[in-house]
Amino acid sequence: MKIVLTGGGTGGHFYPLIAIAEELQTVAEQEHIPELSIFYFAPTPYDEKLLFKHRINFRSIPAGKVRIYFSPKNISDMFTTWGGIIKAFFTLFFIYPDVIFSKGGYASVPTVFAARLLRIPVVIHESDSAVGRANMWASKFAKKIAVSYPEAVAEFPKAQDRVAVTGQPIRKSIIHKTTHGSFQYLDLEENIPVLFILGGSQGAQKINEVILQSLLELLPKYQIIHQVGATLEPEVTARAQAILHASEFRSRYKVFGFLDSLAMSMAAGAASVIISRSGSTIFEIAAWGVPSIIIPIADSHGDHARKNAFNYARRGACSVIEESNFAAHVLIAEIDRILGDKELYKRMHENAQNFFDPLAARKISTEIIEIALSHEQ
């Protein structure tokens, strides 16, 4: 059995694919399916170590972005995409997989297009409340459509019989937070609340800026684990050192460019409140059951960032601060409000846990394998 995973460009696309790969291997073993081969088609491997760890074969397939604003790059990227389609066609022809599973994004287009030409079944998954352009196009011929948010179902009016609300697949290594030893592992003080700031794999400059402005007021009361993005780490570290050079609480501020799965699990286990963007990370936060403050990007495609944030907030699991209102004094007041109200904190914790479906990866993987078996026959 051969299965191709595609999509990418961000961790929000890539890491759910890894979660699916993990579950595919588990289901195949339980169902005694021999010789399962998994491939990842994308312009870049994104994380070669994870691909190697999970025995996923990488194939480089060029893909160009389609921008919604005028740019000369749209023309050159069009040729890149057509080149990717040709390469994907011949690569798929010689592998001839049983199913393509796509997470969407521009990186998925050449592979999904080629699969359509070769009549290979396609399954897609949409993580956001507002469906991305690549997945909207692929939904016209996809065998099955999985969505993380119930609100996304309505975006597929002509495919209701093929849509299922599955939730978001999350890697096994971070689906559970680690509380035992987390304070020692991260060199934190006991009995001081911990703020865990997540900026995503690339960091979030606006969040970093507001956190730096808030340090002198936050650190007397709280400890901070701040994931800033690998490229932004030197700048944030230097600015924080300048701000805190005379502060007796400077050791309470921990900066990380990138957190591996162990550090992420430990940070989640120590966290009292999480501050984050509103991408796929929302589902990780929900899995951990930690109350959160979500700051959606103001100008996301289809306004999906705001829709994600407010759909999660409607479940009573988080507070939302819009980017236009996101300032140091607003953030500090909201942190104090959540941590100062035990009943509110308990409700947010319970509502976050209720939002997450731990069987998401299993549901999707089981369907993929069923389609693959019927395709083989």
- Is there a single domain that holds both residue 134 and residue 206? no
pLDDT digits (tens, 9 = 90+) for 128-183: 998 999 999 999 999 999 999 999 999 999 999 999 999 999 999 999 999 999 99
- Is there a single domain that holds both residue 187 and residue 44? no
Number of domains in the chain: 2
- Does 28 fall in a domain? yes
The residue among 202, 178, 246, 256 whose CA lies nearest residue 224 is 256
What does the DSSP assignment read for 250-301? GGGEEEES---HHHHHHHHHH-SEEEE-SSTHHHHHHHHT--EEE---TT-G
CATH number of the CATH domain containing 78: 3.40.50.2000
- Is there a single domain that holds both residue 107 and residue 164? yes
- Does 175 fall in a domain? no
- Is there a single domain that holds both residue 153 and residue 296? no
Instruction: Provide the residue range defining the domain that includes 330.
Output: 182-355
- Is there a single domain that holds both residue 277 and residue 348? yes
Output helix, strand, coil percentages for the chain, rounded to the nearest 5. 50, 15, 35
pLDDT digits (tens, 9 = 90+) for 275-309: 999 888 999 999 999 999 999 987 766 688 899 99
- Is there a single domain that holds both residue 293 and residue 158? no
Nearest-angstrom CA–CA distance, 47 and 291: 29
Q: What is the pLDDT of residue 302?
A: 66
Whether the model clears a pTM of 0.85, i.e. scores above it, the answer is yes
- Is there a single domain that holds both residue 333 and residue 370? no
- Does 176 fall in a domain? no
